[in-house]
Structure 1
Amino acid sequence: MNLDFVLKAINHKLLEIDSPPLNNAERLILQGIWNDKTYNLVAQDASYSPGYLTNVVAPELFRRISDVVGQKVTKKNCQAKLEKYFTSKATSKKPIPSQNAAKLSADIRQVISPRFPSGAISLDSPFYIQRSDIEKQIYTEIENPGALVRIKAPQEMGKTSLLLRVMDYANHLDYNIVNLDLQQIDQDIFSNINKFLRWFCANISRQLGIESRLDGYWDEDIGCKISCSLYFQDYLLDSIDLPILLALDEVNQIFEHPEIAKDFFPLLRSWYEDGKRLPVWQKLRLVVVHSTEIYVPLNLKQSPFNVGLPIQLHNFSLEEVVKLAKCYRLNWTDEEEANLLMAMTGGHPALVHLAIYHLSRGDVTLKELLQTAPTSTGIYSSHLQRHQVKLQDEPELAIALSMAIGTTEPILLEPIHAYKLNSMGLVKLDGNKAVLSHQLYRDYFQQTLKLI
């Protein structure tokens, strides 16, 4: 019996009994059973802890399946029980009670129908393209005492989706998880380093479920940076037994505030160095996520951006585009369609995902999509207009982008302009030079920049 059918059928039945649909780990176990894989092999392929799949996910999965089929299900009999159960259901022709049919149909659509791709991809989404080598690298690194991981990529390249999976893995390790999205900070918090560090410590305390005791550790005579370090060392880290994964997303927001950056980033570096000699600091595992190179001058020995594990996310490869299309049930085996989409978008993950979503729904043909892509009526209009507004607000960036559009060769731009355009995804950096990212931006902005 086809596994896809079984997975959908299980979700149907789970919804009927008001139980949540299969999550990603549960689907992986069932795929492993269908492919005669051991838990260890499934865990290895998917970068999970074998103990987590064996002792946590599997027992709960088989309990839920047992509820569905009305018999005890184990790993050994799972496939046979499910095939027998759904075969008998298919031949019984028992209708769904009319009063439940509409509700069940709506619930099933929510589970099976793809959501509009926007923002981070949820952990249970079947449309996440794994970056297996990168994920395994990070998972291995955060198990090391005092680890620091730096994830860098332009906007909408999948940084936050990857971070969600890193935090999920850390959760499986029973780490304490703290996630600070620096886009959410009120601007007045950036008014001075003291205010910023108090915000920083207060939020971490809250997420750890530990009472905030800032006033007991903050001493203006020794300064806010030492006060912050002592608060971490003598209170937060001392209060917990298991490691903390501290994830800092959109760190590039701090680049816009040089007075904060020149104090905060050396502080992170000092904590990383302290982790090499002080056991208490080895509990801290830092993951720093940003969308551009730092353009605030920092002493090399004080920067956290030249130590730890560097991770750079890239555009989708042709194989990954085809794989995503397959997830949406598009048959792109000859790769012609994927090549055409790659030529327009350069494999940009968000742009590729949006295109494949619309193509899978039949909203547009690939030919129509490519023809209208660089226009205000195409599927990328919101994406392009968002960049247009940014360029209007910062005319110097528009001028720099015009220079990149005017040539197919890498061009030398002012470093801060190159970094900002790169963080927006509009250009790629080639050493000290910049080159336009892909054809979509050339076709659109060579027309619209004339209006700025």
Structure 2
Amino acid sequence: MNLDSLIEIVNRKLLESHNRPLNSTELLIFRGIWEYQTYGKIAEEGGYSAGYLTNVVAPELCKRLSDLTGQRVTKKNCRILLESYAAAQTVSVIQAQKYQFKGISLETSQEYSQRSFPYPNGAIPLDSLIYVERSSIEDQVYKEIRKPGALVRIKAPKEMGKTSLLLRIIDYAESQGYRTVSLNLEQTDQAILSDLNRFLRWLCANVTSQLQLEPQLDEYWDEDIGSKVSCSLYIKKYLLEQIDSPLVLALDEVNQIFEYPEVAKDFLPLLRSWYEEGKRLPIWQKLRLIIVHSTEIYVPLQLQQSPFNVGLPIKLTSFSLEQVQQLAQQYGINWTDEDEARQLMDLVGGHPSLVNIALYHLNRGEVSLPQLLEAAPTSTGVYFHHLQRHWVTLQEQPELASALATAIDSTQPIPLEPIIAYKLSSMGLIKLDNNQATPSCRLYQQYFQSKLLIK
């Protein structure tokens, strides 16, 4: 089977499963994989940075293809798995030619618009129609990362849009000619996170790889001066001096390091030291740091060592009524007044992921708004899998379940033990105001009230 025929089948099956077809950047990677090219070669031919393709576009593409085929797709097995998958399809490729698209617009037919939106799961791709711009925040961050030695801190509970925003920051930095590296600490092995020396070597190795440089860790690593100094020298003397443009280093899910206090107590002040060095040394001014985390830091640090009280702080909040109405329009849902949006917000409080899930199902015509609202906290509702995922976490960590039950059972905001409160806040299950906790929305209150047997 030739490549074009395979792409036709993949795009058709994506559409049939209510997902968008491959966009131009995904097609670039797809063709490169087919021709057994490296990401560096693919990036060079497409005018992208290898780090952007390797760490942003390729993982999302592999995830989409894995979801489509029901098997784990990687760069190495992609061609053989998809050839096998395409061969198993019985529908004619010729009939699928009408589904070849390079982009989607809101002006497409109603029949297609009802089928064009993927299930909202994870970061929203750059070309998506359902991204709600946070213009004031984005403009702030774009302006900040143009400053020498900048540090940006982005905080919000899970599924509030942090990674979607980060994708756009990275894309903007690329458009400015900056080099970019994006690392997600959630993908790091526990054995690495629990050992400072291994973690700092992991950090340097990954930055080196994304910058497409030859690793030289052993040339700079010296146990006599320690791993922190070795790491700083490596980044300063090797990495920053090798590149001729600013480097944006984005660290996502930094809260993962909070689980390892002994490592966090050394690593977080190290980030602060790089920021401080940028105030006096031009070489460190090339580094622009972006720190993304879900919770407040609960590792004790001296004030002058914390990276969480310097730089530009960004806190993502729930959608406003206007943003919910705007997103409904982007889904092709014509609400005549504010009442429908208010009803949805009364249930989920403007939570971006929960709003997207509701609008996705309303767009498909599977359920009416009254039906959706009534069934929402039940096993037949559109939020069942989302709620079940949280319930599994609470069952695995009974101390979180007990604290959430206390918050739900109270008619007033209550104090919780700080680490427990931060973890529940990170999950998005509670809101904190001056360390006083309340359930974050009526959906969670109703669902977990029954699960936790609260009267």
The TM-score bracket by the shorter chain reads 0.7 to 0.9
1:227 to 2:227 alignment = no
How much does 1:110 deviate? 8.6
Q: Where does residue 443 of structure 1 map in the other structure?
A: 446
Query: How far apart, in 1, do the equivalents of 2:369 and 2:226 lie?
Result: 60
- Asked if the contact 1:402–1:449 (Cα under 8 Å) also holds between the matched residues in 2, the reply is yes
Which of 189, 193, 201 aligns to 1:190? It is 193
Indicate the SS of the match to 1:179: strand
Q: 1:407 deviation in Å? A: 2.2
Distance 2:198 2:103 in 1: 44
Contact kept, 8 Å, 1:408 with 1:436, in 2: the verdict is: no
Which residue is equivalent to 2:96?
A: 103
| Partner deviation per Cα, 1:179-222 (whole Å, 9 max, x = no partner) | 00111111111231001100010000000011110000000000
Is residue 142 from structure 1 mapped to residue 135 from structure 2 by the alignment?
A: no
The partner residue of 1:361 within 357, 364, 368 is 364
Cross-structure match for 1:61: none
Secondary structure class of the residue paired with 1:450: coil
**Conservation of the 8 A alpha-carbon contact between 2:23 and 2:103:** no
Match of 1:409 among 412, 416, 425: 412
For 1:102, give the aligned amino acid.
Q
Q: What residue is the counterpart of 2:43 in the other structure?
A: none
Higher mean C-alpha deviation, range 284-293 or range 99-108: 99-108
Higher Rg of the two aligned structures: 1
RMSD: 1.9
CA displacement 1:28-51 (0-9 Å, x = unmatched) = xxxxxxxxxxxxxxxxxxxxxxxx
Structure 2 gaps of 5+ residues are 1-20, 26-47, 49-91, 105-112
Verify: 1:129 aligned to 2:152, yes or no.
Answer: no
Aligned-residue offset at 1:252: 0.7
Structure 1 runs (4+) deviating above 4 angstroms are: 19-23, 108-112
Preserved CA contact (<8 Å) 2:22 2:102? no
Specify the code of the residue in structure 2 equivalent to 1:257.
Y
The 1-side partners of 2:23 and 2:166 are apart by 23
What's the CA shift string for 1:263-312, capped at 9, x where partnerless?
10000000000000000000000000000001111111100011000000
Instruction: In structure 1, list runs of 5 or more residues that go unmatched.
Output: 1-18, 24-55, 57-98
Aligned partner (choices 342, 346, 371) of residue 343 of structure 1: 346
**1:211-236: per-residue Cα shift (whole Å, max 9, x none)?**
11000000000000000000011110
Deviations 1:141-180 (A, max 9, x none): 0000000000000000000000000000000001101000
In structure 2, what is the equivalent of residue 95 of structure 1? none
* Separation (CA, whole Å) in 2 of partners of 1:131 and 1:322: 14
TM-score by length of 1: 0.77
Alignment of 1:334 with 2:337, yes or no, is yes
Inter-partner Cα distance in structure 2 for 1:397 and 1:233: 42
Specify which of 321, 328, 333 is matched with residue 325 of structure 1.
Answer: 328
Local SS of the residue matching 2:453: helix
Out of 164, 167, 170, the position equivalent to 2:167 is: 164
Match of 1:268 in 2: 271
One-letter amino acid matched to 2:366: D
Secondary structure (helix, strand or coil) at the match of 2:181 reads strand
1:108 shift after superposition:
4.7
Question: How many angstroms does 1:449 deviate by?
Answer: 1.3
Aligned residues: 359
Q: Structure 1 pair 384/20, CA: closer, same or farther in 2 (3 Å)?
A: closer
Structure 2 counterpart of 1:297, one-letter code: P
Name the SS of the counterpart of 2:262 in structure 1: helix
User: In the TM superposition, what is the alpha-carbon distance from 1:107 to its structure 2 partner?
Assistant: 2.9
The change in CA–CA distance for 1:21 and 1:450 in structure 2 (over 3 A counts) is closer
| Distance in 2 between residues matched to 1:208 and 1:401, nearest whole Å | 44
Secondary structure of the 2:100 match is helix
Partner Cα separation in structure 1 for residue 102 and residue 226 of structure 2: 57
Separation in structure 2 between the aligned mates of residue 20 and residue 337 of structure 1, nearest angstrom: 33
On the 8 A contact 1:265/1:302 being kept in 2, the answer is yes
The one-letter code of the counterpart of 2:97 is: L
**Whole-angstrom CA distance in 1 between matches of 2:24 and 2:393:** 41
1:303 equivalent to 2:322? Answer no
Q: Which letter maps to 1:107?
A: Q
Equivalent residue runs for 1:188-267 within 5 Å: 188-267=191-270
Tell me how far 1:109 sits from its aligned partner.
11
In structure 1, C-alpha distance between the alignment counterparts of 2:404 and 2:165, rounded to whole Å: 29
1:355-388 CA distance string (max 9 Å, x none):
0010011011111111111112211111111111
Asked whether the 8 Å contact 1:202–1:214 carries over to 2, the reply is yes
- Percent of aligned pairs with the same amino acid: 62
